[in-house]
Amino acid sequence: MACSGVCSLGKNLMKLKFTDKGVIDYAECLDQMLSLIRTKPEGHEIWYLEHPSVFTIGISEKKIKEDPNSMPPIYKTDRGGKITYHGIGQIVFYFMLNLKKTPFKPSELTKKILVSTSDAILGLGLKNNISKSDPGLYVNGEKLASIGMRIKSNYSYHGISLNHDVNLKEFNSINPCGLDVKACNLSKYINIKQSKLAQKLKEAYTEMLKIK
């Protein structure tokens, strides 16, 4: 089972803390992430939350400019990838991990998160696939989850967003992650409360960080 607050993993008793941030503005959340990793925590922290409607631009996006005053606002970030959307009904997990103390190499981080998420969704009865050309999860050719990570001074931040029951009209007003694809919601295929979905993902990420 995933721990609800702080738990210990494996023989090294590595601490993992999950925090439910509720609904939080993107810019505020990013500031909090950066503040956390500057403290160089000994253990791992994973936050799960929702953002009010916002577009975020990754380092690969060269055409779209930052505009915090637009509706929804557009923020430039230092994560990987191009442009994506966040909104109410989408669950976001941010991973502030001490990469000196993970059971995998930093270069495997994105793959590990995607595989863990994919397996959790499969465990709920929904087949999905991981795209190699565009890191994310797809169902029937539509994008279910997007990922963008950043590593700084042996710590990771940013994370993965999964569409549970988000406003797809607003999401699909852009090309998700700069691609000519449409996004989809998990609720189209599975009747599951977002709180239960969060618990399943917490369990998957706890398992991911265990020292085998």
Structure tokens at 151: 């590593």
Residue 125 burial (C-beta neighbours within 10 Å; 0-12, 13-18, 19+): exposed
Told to judge if 29 belongs to the known catalytic residues of this protein, a careful annotator would answer no
Structure tokens at 176: 């998700």
The active-site residue, picked from 3, 7, 29, 177, is: 177
Taking the C-alpha atoms of residue 59 and residue 141, their distance in angstroms, rounded to an integer, is: 25
Is-contact 55 27, C-beta < 8 A? no
Taking the C-alpha atoms of residue 58 and residue 81, their distance in angstroms, rounded to an integer, is: 5
Catalytic residue annotation: 177
